[in-house]
């Protein structure tokens, strides 16, 4: 890699450099990709104890099963490590290191699961006061024992105190720097990121200023000396980092919009950028870093230098991406997020999560809350579905009224009760442009939430409770009741760069794509322009 000591760089009068466009700055927690539930303390602890550790132990007992599953495309996204048997020593080392350094988190998870089990079996409606004296040490001072209105006991967590007490993954937070194509990334739920020669791994919390230093150099040239200072890095580390930089400016495409009117740019899945000459609004920022997906493809480099408002619809990995948000925080003005169900391990606070990533201007909203911005307003809309009947509050559909146009983003709403759309229309009026998620047959409950459940669920019930959006019939109801002179079907998770986050790739005859096509065809035959979005491009809106 060359002899790039810091002093020699300064003496040589180094040229201004950019971070290469395809460089990944992957956030890791104890070696695992940091999706939202690995940042919030309770969900992190439960995932480590009841997902990560059992997966690693299974691999160490019989790696051949995992290797065979890894080579079967039909099993992608299942509970198997995508690691060759030669990685067995690294997995064993990761497991031992985690057991030592993350011991407080693992002890918290075990104590919480034990307490939940005791309450389910022993609490019958009488006062729970005596149980506080029997709390395990990791739980003391950070839980409340309560009944719901049906006298069913549960544990309420004081999530703010979990952060404040240091029960976080900060000690295990790292940034893994590589040029690996995003299509080669291992599935986030089942496979840790093992160290490899072509990557550089830096120990640092996610709110570290050095993340911003590196992220700024994606579009603004800087000096390696500045990187070295931000990282407090030695010559050996800087030598390893040098191949990730280039003197060539990155290609960017019309990032600013200074014309009259409105521009809507689609970055794939549910990521939408709404621009006028006065404001830039980004919805559900999850997008690609790499180029090469076609002429109309938009990626990270096509985002504007200033993003006034980011709106997050819900706390799933394909709508809230810490990897991206960390690298955008110096560009973002305000983040708008839905309120959560306080104290529920399956519904951690998005606002607290963002604060731990270094954000400060965060607005938490409830259904029907409205916030004004230049040229229009945002409103938070309730939506049902996509959370497998869990008591999760932190989800919102999004209404943007801007320059006289009303855009409604139903995200992953399942439309199970279409009267909801009548009530929304009665408050805010009918939509002009409607965006609908139609992943109508999602993964079962335990795929994402299994480690967070306080007791086992039967296979039959698990299969019946799915992370699903609308089918064609429910999409028609949404359009009829909420309106839309133009419709876009989106958030289908089929972009190739999303595979490591989605764990799926539908065949052409899948029920999800068949239902979406049926709805698109019905709309167009009925005189309402409709298309299923894929990839990324500027959208042409009807007048």
**Residue 365 to residue 237: CA distance in whole angstroms:** 43
pTM of the predicted model as reported, rounded to 2 decimal places: 0.95
pLDDT grade for 323, boundaries at 50, 70 and 90 = very high
Buried b (16+ CB within 10 A) or exposed e, 463-489: eebbbbbbbbebbbbbbebbbbbbbbb
pLDDT of amino acid 5: 38
Length of the chain: 543
Q: Considering the chain, what percentage of its residues have pLDDT values greater than 70?
A: 97
| CB neighbour class for 381 (10 Å; exposed up to 12, middle 13-18, buried from 19) | buried
Distance CA 230, CA 222 (A): 12
Among 207, 195, 205, smallest CA distance to 327 is for 207
- pLDDT score recorded for residue 213: 97
C-beta separation of 151 from 125 below 8 A = yes
Q: What is the mean pLDDT of residues 417-436?
A: 97
Summarised one tens digit per residue, pLDDT across range 500-517 is: 999 888 888 999 999 999
For helices 419-428 and 472-482, give the axis angle rounded to 10 degrees: 30
Share of the chain above pLDDT 90, in %: 93
Per-residue model confidence as pLDDT tens digits over 469-505: 999 999 999 999 999 999 999 999 999 999 999 988 8
Q: Look at the block and give the residue holding tokens 């950070």.
A: 142
295 has pLDDT over 50: yes
Domains belonging to the chain, first-starting first, are 22-102+169-217 (no CATH), 103-164 (no CATH), 263-538 (3.60.15.10)
> 129 pLDDT exceeds 80?
yes
Report whether pLDDT(4) > 90.
no
- Average confidence (pLDDT) over 195-204: 96
For residue 337 the two structure tokens come to 């997020």
pLDDT of residue 317: 96
Q: What pLDDT shows up at residue 291?
A: 86
- Residues 22-49 have a mean pLDDT of 98
Confidence band for 543, pLDDT divided at 50, 70 and 90: confident
| Gap between the Cα atoms of 437 and 471, Å rounded | 9
pLDDT level of residue 9 (50, 70, 90 thresholds): very low
Q: Supply 256's token pair.
A: 């600013």
Q: Which single residue is written with the structure tokens 């309420």?
A: 156
Banded pLDDT at 11 (limits 50, 70, 90)? very low
* H helix count then E strand count, the chain: 18, 22
- 20: pLDDT confidence band, cut at 50, 70 and 90? very high
């Amino acid at each position: 890699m060359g002899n790039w000591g810091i002093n020699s760089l300064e003496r040589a009068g180094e040229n201004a450099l950019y971070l290469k466009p395809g460089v990944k700055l992957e956030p890791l927690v104890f070696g695992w990709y940091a999706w939202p539930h690995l940042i919030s303390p309770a969900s992190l602890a439960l995932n480590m104890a009841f997902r990560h550790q059992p997966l690693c132990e299974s691999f160490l007992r019989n790696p051949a099963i995992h290797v065979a599953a890894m080579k079967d495309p039909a099993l992608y996204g299942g509970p198997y490590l995508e690691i060759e048997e030669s990685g067995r020593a690294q997995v064993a080392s990761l497991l031992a290191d985690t057991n030592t350094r993350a011991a407080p988190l693992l002890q918290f998870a075990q104590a919480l699961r034990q307490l939940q089990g005791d309450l389910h079996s022993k609490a019958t409606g009488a006062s729970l006061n005596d149980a506080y004296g029997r709390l395990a040490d990791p739980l003391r001072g950070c839980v409340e024992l309560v009944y719901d209105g049906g006298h069913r006991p549960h544990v309420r967590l004081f999530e703010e105190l979990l952060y404040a007490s240091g029960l976080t993954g900060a000690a295990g937070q790292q940034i893994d720097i590589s040029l690996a194509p995003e299509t080669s990334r291992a599935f986030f739920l089942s496979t840790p990121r093992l160290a490899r020669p072509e990557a550089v791994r830096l120990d640092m919390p996610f709110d570290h200023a050095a993340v911003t230093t590196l992220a700024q150099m994606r579009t603004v040239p800087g000096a390696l000396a500045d990187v070295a200072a931000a990282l407090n890095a030695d010559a050996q580390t800087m030598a390893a980092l040098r191949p990730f930089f280039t003197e060539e400016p990155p290609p960017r495409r019309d990032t600013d919009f200074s014309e009259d009117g409105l521009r809507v740019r689609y970055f794939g899945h549910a990521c939408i950028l709404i621009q006028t000459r006065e404001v830039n609004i980004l919805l559900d920022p999850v997008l690609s870093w790499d180029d090469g997906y076609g002429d109309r493809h938009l990626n990270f480099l096509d985002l504007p230098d200033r993003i006034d408002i980011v709106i997050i619809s819900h706390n799933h990995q394909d709508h809230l991406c810490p990897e991206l948000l960390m690298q955008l925080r110096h560009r973002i003005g305000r983040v708008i997020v839905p309120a959560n169900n306080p104290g529920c391990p399956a519904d951690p606070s998005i606002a607290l999560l963002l604060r731990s990533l270094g954000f400060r201007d965060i607005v938490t909203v409830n259904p029907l809350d409205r916030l004004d911005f230049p040229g229009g307003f945002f409103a938070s809309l309730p939506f049902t579905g996509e959370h497998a009947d869990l008591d999760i509050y932190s989800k919102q559909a999004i209404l943007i009224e801007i320059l006289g146009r009303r855009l409604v983003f139903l995200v992953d709403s399942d439309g199970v009760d279409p009267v909801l759309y009548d009530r929304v229309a009665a408050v805010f009026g009918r939509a002009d442009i409607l965006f609908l998620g139609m992943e109508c047959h999602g993964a079962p409950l335990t795929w994402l939430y299994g480690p967070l459940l306080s007791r086992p669920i039967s296979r039959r019930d698990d299969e019946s409770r799915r992370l699903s959006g609308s089918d064609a019939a429910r999409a028609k109801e949404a359009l009829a009741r909420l309106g839309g002179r133009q419709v876009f079907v989106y958030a289908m998770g089929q972009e190739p760069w999303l595979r490591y986050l989605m764990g799926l790739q539908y065949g052409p005859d899948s029920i999800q794509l068949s239902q979406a096509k049926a709805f698109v065809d019905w709309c167009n035959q009925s005189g309402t322009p409709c298309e299923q979005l894929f990839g990324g491009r500027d959208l042409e809106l009807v007048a």
